[in-house]
Amino acid sequence: MKPYRVALIGTGGIVGSHLEAIAAMGERVELVAAVDTNATRLEAVCAQTGIAHAYTDAAAMLAAEQPDLVHILTPPATHLPLILAALDAGAAVWCEKPLCRSLAEFDEIAAAEARTGRYVSTVFQWRFGSAVEHLRKLAGEKLLGRPLVATCQTLWYRDAAYYAAPWRGRFASETGGPTATLGIHLMDLLLWLWSEWEEVHALAATLDRPIEVEDVSMALVRFESGALGSIVTSALSPRQESYLRLDYQHATAEVKTLYRYANADWRFTPLPGETGDALAAAWQAIPCDRIGSHTAQLTLLLDSLDRGKRPLVSGIEARRIVEFIACLYKSAFTGQPVARGSITPGDPFYASMNGVSYAE
């Protein structure tokens, strides 16, 4: 089988994770081109990695190189036009989060997928670590009992220099604050592990940064199962931490880390007794220790392309978190709980995360 011809659009700070993942694929991929409007940065990355073809225009690259897979690593406001162009050029897309700025944009992407027969997947590498895979297995086997209480905290720190980038700090160009750009990973993981959510009631505020978007948000979420969760996302926390705690009927599973986790970052506490002893043994039987990484996700993405199947974290699996964040923002702006499925075309929050047209 010929290697997949891969192109990068964007060579900023996140490019290292993508280059590492591509290198790990060996002969499955051929990195044929890179694109960036910053020619100096582009040339440095190409020189470092041996990429032969550098472009400052994505359309020119797509026409000349005809890649099979395009990695999009640019600011959020540019994602939609680049995704549509790549799909129309015959490429599949793997795009950094947030995938798009609204439900309206997501549905435009979905229509383009249907039109072209190509797929768009979002980077959510936290789903692909061995500990999460094992936890889902135990839950699927009904060993943990019903999910009951979740605590999801993304407590990070981003200073004024971070927000000095011209595209950051505004809904039109960044999509939102830490809710949409930082906490999105852990929130996606929670929503994936505990399946469908039903209602969210949220607060958001801009407390200590000179920005339009929020720098902190808090939300309560009710799941269809009846389980309840609390979500805190901050860009103001000097002692940074990512923490997810999942209380099931028979055990608590929790992870405390920052940007990546290995098995050792997880703690599993079953109820005491014979059932708990059996659960503890089942947890210890994790077959490997795999970090949730871009490499792990890209491996499975290529497997899906090999089979001509929709990749993980695309379609409805990618839409879930976009809808949740839209509902969270609507609740924060209106002061009212927002139900899943209630934001539809014609709702201001269908077109943008703050209910204001991005053109205004």
**3-class secondary structure, 245:** strand
pTM for the full predicted model: 0.96
Q: pLDDT at position 360, please?
A: 60
Distance CA 301, CA 22 (A): 12
Cross-strand pairs, 270: 251
**3-class secondary structure, 91:** coil
In this predicted structure, the answer to whether residue 1 has a pLDDT above a threshold of 90 is no
Domain with CATH 3.40.50.720 in the chain: 4-122
Q: pLDDT at position 274, please?
A: 83
Distance CA 169, CA 167 (A): 7
In this predicted structure, the answer to whether residue 358 has a pLDDT above a threshold of 90 is no
Contact 89, 308 (CB under 8 A): no
At 320-352, the pLDDT tens digits run: 999 999 999 999 999 999 999 999 999 999 999
Report which of 18, 21, 26, 174 is spatially closest to residue 95, judged by C-alpha positions. 18
At 123-160, the pLDDT tens digits run: 999 999 999 999 999 999 999 999 999 999 999 999 99
126-292: CATH superfamily: Dihydrodipicolinate Reductase; domain 2 (3.30.360.10)
Domain with CATH 3.30.360.10 in the chain: 126-292
Distance CA 36, CA 10 (A): 5
Q: List strand residue ranges (DSSP E) for the chain, in order.
A: 4-9, 29-35, 53-55, 69-72, 92-95, 120-122, 147-157, 197-205, 216-223, 228-234, 236-248, 251-257, 266-270, 338-339
Report which of 22, 12, 10 is spatially closest to residue 294, judged by C-alpha positions. 22
Distance CA 183, CA 18 (A): 20
Residue 281 half-sphere exposure, CB side, CA atoms within 13 Å?
A: 6
> Which percentage of the chain shows pLDDT scores above 70?
100
Q: pLDDT at position 216, please?
A: 98
Strands lying side by side in the sheet with 147-157? 266-270, 251-257, 236-248, 147-157, 228-234, 216-223, 197-205, 338-339
**140 contact partners, CB below 8 Å, separation of at least 6:** none
Distance CA 198, CA 102 (A): 19
Distance CA 303, CA 142 (A): 28
CATH class of domain segment(s) 4-122: alpha beta
Residues 295, 247, 181: CA angle, nearest 5 degrees: 45
In this predicted structure, the answer to whether residue 237 has a pLDDT above a threshold of 90 is yes
